[in-house]
Amino acid sequence: MATGSSSVAVALMPYPYQVAGHAAQGPLKLTDDGCVLKPIQRPPKGMREVVFYDTVFNKSEKRDEILQLRRLLPYYHGIVEIDTSKYLKLENITNKFQLPCVMDIKMGRVTWDDHADETFRERRRKKWPLKEVTGFSILGFMVYNHQTCCHEHFNDEWCRKLFTVQDAEKCFHQFLGSIQLEMTFDILGQLLANLVDIKEWFTTQRLFRFIASSILIVYEANSSKKFGKHQNSHQQSETVENMHQLSPKNLLVDAKIIDTAHVFPSTDFDSNYLFGLENLISILEKCKEKYAVK
Ligand SMILES: Nc1ncnc2c1ncn2[C@@H]1O[C@H](COP(=O)(O)OP(=O)(O)OP(=O)(O)O)[C@@H](O)[C@H]1O
Ligand SMILES: [Mg+2]
């Protein structure tokens, strides 16, 4: 596995499926080898994310919690430097999809560092009212519209108007609108399996506290793709290297942890993250029941 810095020439393109995120250091870029480049943010955020990925993908790492965590993250290819700018090179989670529909869900009711003052905390609570109830916020999403043959982007301004569990449910139905109704039940089943994997990891690990981290959900809007043998990227194979190389072409849904610029060492369970994830799972389970064939 490749970690560390490299400054090899890479052909860059704009990344078309970014649904959220700051553009302070510029948007994500697409490489021609199936990866995204995320600009390293200013200190201390940027370095914290680099240290996190370096720790998790360290070749000599043996701790089981860390090895298990790798499956839940985009594969990390190290740092690249292009024209004096530094980037994290990550697996592009949308790459295995022909018509990806993408949603960024920020986890936790508390999305600020310990040192944040009360004014900042209150501003965040007001800005993202849904998380006060559910413990997660939908930051943005993109859905493929088969009529116009274009992706529609629902941005942060749109998502900040979500207040209640019912609003969140409607939003998920809107997000899932790109697939035929009869497939939605299976897609949700697969998505829930991925989210339960993430939850299982969080219920055992006591190493990290994930503040303001997201789960990126992607599903396939091209309905000519059918479910195959390998559906769950988390359960694909034993090692992350194999998983990366043997990524299923017929993947219909994926859910991975992204945005780890505020991950801190811990000695306890991440109850803030788990609260949001348990609510997310139960809301999606309820959505799934609506698509069950009667
Ligand atoms: N590995 C990835 N594969 C595909 N898309 C990604 C990946 N990582 C991030 N993205 C896209 O880019 C967006 C922003 O990413 P991210 O949340 O990591 O950055 P950010 O919020 O700008 O970071 P920060 O909080 O460190 O400033 C996500 O909403 C998602 O659409
Ligand atoms: Mg983000």
User: What pLDDT, on the 0 to 100 scale, is given for residue 226?
Assistant: 54
Phi then psi for 67, rounded to 5 degrees? -60, -40
Would you call the peptide bond into 248 cis, given omega within 30 degrees of 0 as the criterion?
no
How remote is the CA of residue 47 from the centroid of ligand 1, in Å?
A: 16
CA–CA distances in Å: residue 3 to residues 33, 59, 76: 16, 9, 7
Q: Is the CB of 240 under 6 A from ligand 1?
A: no
- Spans of the chain below 70 pLDDT: 1-10, 225-250, 294
Closest protein CA for atom 9 of ligand 1: 258
Q: Is the CB of 38 under 6 A from ligand 1?
A: yes
Q: Which atom of ligand 1 is nearest to the CA of 22?
A: 22
Q: Is the CB of 107 under 6 A from ligand 1?
A: no
Q: What domains appear along the chain, each with residue ranges and CATH number?
A: 13-90 (no CATH), 100-223+248-293 (3.30.470.160)
| CB distance 46 to 31 below 8 Å | no
Burial of 209 per CB tally in 10 Å (0-12, 13-18, 19+): buried
What DSSP element (H or E) covers 258? strand 253-258
How remote is the CA of residue 21 from the centroid of ligand 2, in Å?
A: 4
CA–CA distances in Å: residue 44 to residues 38, 47, 113, 262: 16, 6, 12, 9
Q: Is the CB of 19 under 6 A from ligand 1?
A: yes
User: What pLDDT, on the 0 to 100 scale, is given for residue 9?
Assistant: 61
User: What pLDDT, on the 0 to 100 scale, is given for residue 181?
Assistant: 87
Closest protein CA for atom 16 of ligand 1: 259
What DSSP element (H or E) covers 230? none
CA–CA distances in Å: residue 46 to residues 52, 58, 88, 136, 270: 10, 18, 9, 23, 22
| CB distance 74 to 135 below 8 Å | no
- N- to C-terminal Cα distance for the chain? 47
| CB distance 57 to 241 below 8 Å | no
Q: Is the CB of 138 under 6 A from ligand 1?
A: no
* Nearest alpha carbon to residue 37 among 95, 99, 86: 86
pTM, 2 dp: 0.92
Residues recorded for the chain: 294
Q: Is the CB of 34 under 6 A from ligand 1?
A: no
How remote is the CA of residue 288 from the centroid of ligand 1, in Å?
A: 27
What residue spans of the chain are helical by DSSP H? 45-56, 64-70, 118-127, 130-134, 156-159, 165-175, 181-204, 240-245, 271-290
User: What pLDDT, on the 0 to 100 scale, is given for residue 245?
Assistant: 39
User: What pLDDT, on the 0 to 100 scale, is given for residue 223?
Assistant: 81
User: What pLDDT, on the 0 to 100 scale, is given for residue 278?
Assistant: 98
CB atoms within 10 A of CB 106: 23
Q: Which atom of ligand 1 is nearest to the CA of 90?
A: 1
* Structural Rg of the chain based on CA atoms: 18
User: What pLDDT, on the 0 to 100 scale, is given for residue 66?
Assistant: 98
CB atoms within 10 A of CB 186: 16
